[in-house]
A and B are shown apart, each in its own frame.
Chain A
Amino acid sequence: MKRKSSLELALKAVLDRKFETMLKIEKLNVSVGETQILKNLDLEIKAGEVHAIMGPNGTGKSTLANTIAGRSDYEVGSGSISFMGEDLLAKEPHERAAEGIFLGFQYPVEIPGVSNLNFLRTALNSQRRHRGEDDMSAAEFMKLVRAKADELGLKPEMLKRFVNVGFSGGEKKRNEMVQMAVLNPTLAVLDETDSGLDIDALKVVSDGINAQRRDDTAILLITHYQRLLDYVQPDFIHVMSGGKIVKSGDKSLALELEEEGYAAFEA
């Protein structure tokens, strides 16, 4: 697969007049229990862009991802998040999903007794109904899901297994990528999707992310390590520390981080 450079992408977006704001986060403050995690965080993501947020553990990267997806334990004190021009914080998690937000979980959850196929089909059709579309027929769905599983190297028998039950770390992440490909979100927020992967799995996951990369989609990568960025080239890199973004730049920032470590950027 030929990867487009960010310049090409940006140019194309301008030409297509798609250079519009997808996600806009302003002065976001979020606490979990008594502890304030995010402090006046600002972030703007436009269609066609890939952003990477890097930073040491405990700086609020996962909090940001979960807040975007609507997890209720994360309490928004003040600030705003708009998505496609609408107030995201007013929406329930399943509404956010139906309207195009996908959260790739750092630790995908096991659901015993529920097959992957059943889970994914229910999810897809719930989203479609929310958008006023008809359910996808069983045949059409099977075709779609088989194709995506094949592309991402998920063995067909894994589709019949219970959601994430007994999956290896790599299989779980691959499964997340299949879900993303089938649900086809506008904004994918991938929370440490690269953690715990061997090099082969990392490549597959990267292919999945790159396949989702289009002019009309955006991707927010949350990662601890530079190595994912060898395979997925972000347009922007943000360094997070102490609950806010302390530095933003292009992909050269990742190399800088590599050399100097996070300590140089601490808030």
Chain B
Amino acid sequence: MAGTAEAKKQVEDAVGDYRYGFKTDIETEFAPKGLSEEVIRFISAKKNEPEWLLEWRLKAYHLWLKMDEPDWAKVDYPKIDYNDIYYYAAPVRKEIDSLDEVDPELLRTYEKLGIPIREQEVLAGVKGAAKVAVDAVFDSVSVATTFREELTKAGVIFMSISEAVREYPEMVKKYLASVVPVRDNFFATLNCAVFTDGTFVYIPKGVRCPMELSTYFRINAENTGQFERTLIIADEGSYVSYLEGCTAPMRDENQLHAAVVELIALDDAEIKYSTVQNWYPGDKDGKGGIYNFVTKRAHCKGKNSKVSWTQVETGSAVTWKYPSCILSGENSVGEFYSVAVTNNKQQADTGSKMIHLGKGSRSTIIAKGISTGRSNSTYRGLVKVLGGADDVRNYTQCDSLLLTDKCGAHTVPYIEVKNPTAQIEHEATTSKISDDQLFYCRARGLDEEEAVAMIVNGFCKEVMQHLPMEFAVEAQKLLGISLEGSVG
């Protein structure tokens, strides 16, 4: 048919086009390539770290040397040469006190990244522009933290973790690796040894954070790994919503991203952590792309504490990620809402772990996987109830939607219950996008792409509604873009 060839061409053009695939030419300072004690000392010195942190890093490094890369996930990628990676890369001007000092080239990058206009204004320092504070991590160094003043007034600490190490060493010492132990897993241990920057947040007792906090991560330099470290502490009765967006330029090589995120919620505190991950997924044949090996874990330590993870994962060549909650507080609540889209040759092995130690703790897992092209998507999740945890409830729902007949969706739930009072529910569905739905939409005037985007957005509705408003709009568009040319 006449229109079809043209449409196909447009689709093909669009598929090859990663919107965020540009690189920024700014001067970058590297640590020597590869990993050694010397490199770790270099990083630590660059960051003027105290002795205890250097020791801590070195201890982690030696542990890591004896560890094996995990191979249990349903992902397949060539062996990573850990000595062929730059572990530290920073824009040369690294100590920035005011926004005027931000390299205009960098601001342009944020513009291209599609950081919402309101947040760009914030970055540019336009007064009264927005109620979103942005901490931007460019390669490995946190560039600018906005809205510091207003947050300070509320007693909220929002800064790069390097700064926090200097300014609030006691707090960092107390909580760093308290949720994800140094020896937790291969990638987390590696992160301990080489983490370069990240975000630190502390919300004081009874404070509702006056704005949403937001971090944009971006990998720019070639052959760099990004090893950021995020630590968020919500003190008693406090509330914070934290947004994280990630992009990376197009590169033929694979780049490693091994972050660690730790959240701590004390009595009656609530943390809402939302991620839109759009790292470069590689090209159609699976060349290039980010390895996204991330450890995210929350400790719902206090009674009635609550942590919600919401993630929309459309990028990365390989994703290995299980945002989890340790529910030790009485009546604490853990939630995980996830949309994972894989296209072309992307692989995602993602899910959640809910570890119930507290009496009356509850958790919800809603995971939606959308696979197309020749991609593979796996939900892997653990619900564990310990003996002392009475009256625990969990509800898990995993739905997979397949758009082609060459892709795969897999569900691997692990359930371990040691207390007879627990109520655990698990539901899983797998479906193929239906021709009837597609034709119904098209007969009403939607073209094929619009029809797919609409059906998929509907499929993800339960998750999307947990994202903050602005983020949800972005995420919806992103879903549309990620699925372009995916049916047929």
* Docked complex Cα distance between A140 and B442 (Å): 23
**Complex: A124 Cα to B462 Cα, angstroms:** 25
Enumerate A115-163 residues with CB–CB distance to B below 8 Å: 118-120, 122-124, 126-127, 130, 162
Give chain A residues whose Cβ lies under 8 Å from the Cβ of B447. 92, 94, 126
**A114 with B443: CB separation less than 8 A:** no
With contact pairs A109-B437, A119-B454, A122-B454 given, residues A93 and B442 touching in the complex (Cβ less than 8 Å): yes
Interface secondary structure of A, over-half rule: helix
Asked if B461 is at the interface of the complex by the 8 Å CB criterion, the answer is: yes
Please determine whether A126 and B445 come into contact, CB atoms closer than 8 angstroms. Answer: yes
Taking CB atoms and an 8 Å cut-off, the chain B residues in 227-282 that contact chain A are none
A91 with B457: in contact, given A127-B445, A130-B445, A183-B445 (CB under 8 Å)?
no
Judged by a CB distance under 8 angstroms, whether B458 is at the interface is: yes
Q: Which of B438-458 contact A (CB under 8 A)?
A: 439-448, 450-451, 454-455, 457-458
Chain B binding site: helix, strand, loop or mixed by DSSP?
helix
Assembled-state Cα–Cα distance A183/B444 (Å):
8
Do the beta carbons of B450 and A122 come within 8 Å of each other? Answer: yes
Name B455's contact: one of A73, A98, A111 (CB within 8 Å).
A111
Check if B440 sits within 8 Å of A114, measured CB to CB.
no
Does any Cβ of B come within 8 Å of A71's Cβ? yes
Of the four ranges (under 10, 10 to 19, 20 to 34, 35 or more), the interface on chain A belongs to 35 or more
Out of B434, B435, B446, B459, which one reaches A126, CB within 8 Å? B446
With A93-B439, A95-B3, A122-B450 as known contacts, state yes or no: A112 contacts B445, CB within 8 Å: no
Min CB distance A164 to B, Å, is: 9
Q: Which of A91, A94, A119 counts the most chain B CB atoms within 10 A?
A: A94
Question: Which of B434, B440, B441, B462 makes the CB contact (< 8 A) with A113?
Answer: B462
Determine the distance from Cα of A94 to Cα of B115 in the docked complex, in whole angstroms: 33
A267 CB–B CB distance under 8 Å: no
> In the complex the two chains form, is B445's CB within 8 Å of A105's CB?
no
Min CB–CB distance B333 → chain A (angstroms): 24
Q: Is the CB of A114 within 8 A of B454?
A: yes
Q: How far is the CB of B432 from chain A (nearest CB, A)?
A: 14
Counting CB contacts under 8 A, is A204 at the interface?
no
Residues in chain A near residue B437, CB distance under 8 A: 109-111
Answer yes or no: A97 CB below 8 A from chain B CBs.
Answer: yes
Contacting residue for A103 out of B2, B443, B455, CB 8 A: B443
| Residues A91 and B3 in contact in the complex (CB < 8 Å), given A113-B460, A126-B447, A162-B458 | yes
**Cβ of A179: which chain B residues have Cβ within 8 Å of it?**
444
A169 contacts B by Cβ under 8 Å: no
Q: List residues of chain A with CB within 8 A of the CB of B458.
A: 111-114, 162
Q: Is the CB of B4 within 8 A of A92?
A: yes
Give B440's nearest chain A residue, CB to CB: A109
A91 to B439, CA, bound (A): 14
A60 touches B (CB below 8 Å): no
Task: Give CA–CA (A236, B364) in the complex, Å.
Answer: 59
Q: B444 contacts A109, CB within 8 Å?
A: no
CA distance A183 to B441 in the complex (A): 13
Min CB–CB distance B177 → chain A (angstroms): 40
List of B residues within 8 angstroms of A98 by Cβ = 445
Taking CB atoms, residues of chain B closer than 8 Å to A79 are: none
- Whole-angstrom CA separation of A127 from B443 in the bound complex: 10
In the complex with contacts A111-B437, A122-B454, A93-B461 CB distance below 8 A: no
Please, how many angstroms separate the alpha-carbon atoms of A123 and B454 in the complex? 10
Please report the C-alpha to C-alpha distance between residue A112 and residue B450 in the assembled complex, in whole angstroms.
16
Residue A90 lies at the interface, judged by CB distance under 8 Å to chain B: yes
B191 to chain A, nearest CB (A): 36
Binding site for A on B (CB under 8 A): 1-4, 7, 434-437, 439-448, 450-451, 454-455, 457-462
Query: 9 new A-B pairs (CB below 8 Å) besides A90-B1, A162-B458?
Result: A70-B443, A72-B439, A92-B7, A94-B446, A97-B444, A109-B434, A113-B459, A113-B460, A122-B446
**Using a CB–CB distance below 8 Å, which chain A residues touch chain B?**
69-73, 89-98, 102-103, 105, 108-114, 118-120, 122-124, 126-127, 130, 162, 179, 183
7 example contacts (A-B, Cβ-Cβ < 8 A) are as follows A94-B443, A94-B448, A109-B440, A110-B437, A122-B446, A127-B445, A179-B444
